[in-house]
Amino acid sequence: MPRLVSPLKISSLTLALVWAPLVLAQEVAVPTPRAASSAPSLDVEVPDVALVDQTGREVKLWTDLVRGHTVAINFIFTRCKTICSPMTATVARVQKELGPRSNVRFISITLDVANDTPERMARFAEPFKPGPGWSFLTGEPAKVKEALVALGGYVPDKEAHRPTVLVGNAVSNTWTRVDGLGSPSAILSAIREVQAASAGPTELGPQARDAAAQDAAAAKYFTNTELVDQHGKTHRFYEDLVRGRKVLINFAFTACKGACSPITKHLTQVQEKLGGRVGKDITMITLSVDPANDTPKSLGTFTKKLGVQPGWYFLTGARENITLVLKKLGGYVDDPDAHNTTLLIGDSATGMWVKSPAMARVENIVYAVEHLNDPR
């Protein structure tokens, strides 16, 4: 595939774009976490093995699911007649209690890879109504075993497994185990303690230190400025839309008589090709360059007309808020008609960003997203 641009690997998240250089501080104060108080912190190294979720999509355990998030991980198998269903029901109550804006990822890994296909995992999960951000994982036996061993879930006899939920945060390197058959409040408490630990002092391992530095730099740069989407929902820009995901970002306005509608229609094909990943580990963002006129209602009409699907956020808001974000990304213009038509593709966790013409071939854009962090 012809490269869209020479990729830019950024140290401490320096985002350098030819039309508007954007530089982040390369030295950041790394938040040093303390262990959760309910139990001693565990030493966990999450392998970046490729597994398969309940939709049949391949995901990497560290890169796609754990990095940048607090996670709750348990171990189940679909033919289990004892603890697996009640434990999953408890975890489902925890996810519901945290609500849809939670940044917590839930992961259930099979102990019976010989029988648990993605389809069976999906059927097992269905009665519990898991929300977005909950992955039921299977895959190649060796890779599943590697994950189970690393996370402390492996047992030679699956029937003898314990109802354990591993709660942790890889940024702070804080991990603890909770009884999955206890009350949901115990798991919620562990999650909140692990989240709080990311703000306290302790020693980080090299992997966690790098991730913490990258996250701190990204949060400082992108900011948690509040913007409003086409449905009227308010989002914190970094934490809700950028952190822990690959992102595609472009600029448009609803009264545009030129490129905006064709570009949006073109990018709906990109969204279709990326499939169910959009809204999970990939976010699509269009920032209005005309916040004085682009209301959530007008953005909603615009997106409905052009076939935009969930997982793609068209953002407006107070002029000072959206101007701040536009300037950070090199998208601010005094005259909306003069806005640029570049597509930014990036991963704040790795600091890798590339730019592409928004009307580049769909296959090229999709390839750039899927292979963004490949070694060059």
Instruction: List the chain domain ranges.
Output: 8-27+221-370, 50-203
**HSE (CB half, 13 Å, CA atoms) of 229?**
18
Give the β-pairing of 342-347 and 246-252.
Answer: antiparallel
Q: Domain 50-203 falls in which CATH fold?
A: Glutaredoxin (3.40.30)
Q: Do domains 8-27+221-370 and 50-203 have the same CATH topology?
A: yes
Look-up: residue for tokens 């949901």?
184
* Residue 80 annotated in ligand binding: no
Q: Report whether 87 contacts 163 (CB < 8 A).
A: yes
**HSE (CB half, 13 Å, CA atoms) of 79?**
9
Alpha carbon distance 89, 6 (integer Å)? 47
* Residue 256 annotated in ligand binding: yes
State the pTM of this model: 0.53
Q: Which of 63, 32, 25, 27 is nearest to 47 (CA)?
A: 63
Residuewise pLDDT in 10s, the chain (376 residues): 333 443 443 333 334 332 232 322 222 222 333 333 344 468 888 999 999 999 999 999 998 899 888 999 999 999 999 999 999 999 999 999 988 778 899 999 999 999 999 999 999 999 999 998 999 999 999 999 999 999 999 999 999 999 999 999 877 788 999 999 988 988 998 998 888 776 544 444 555 556 666 777 787 888 889 999 999 999 889 888 998 889 999 999 999 999 999 999 999 999 999 998 998 889 999 999 999 999 999 999 999 999 999 999 999 999 999 999 999 999 999 999 999 999 999 998 788 899 999 999 999 999 999 998 886 5
CATH superfamily of 8-27+221-370: Glutaredoxin (3.40.30.10)
Structure tokens at 290: 């005309």
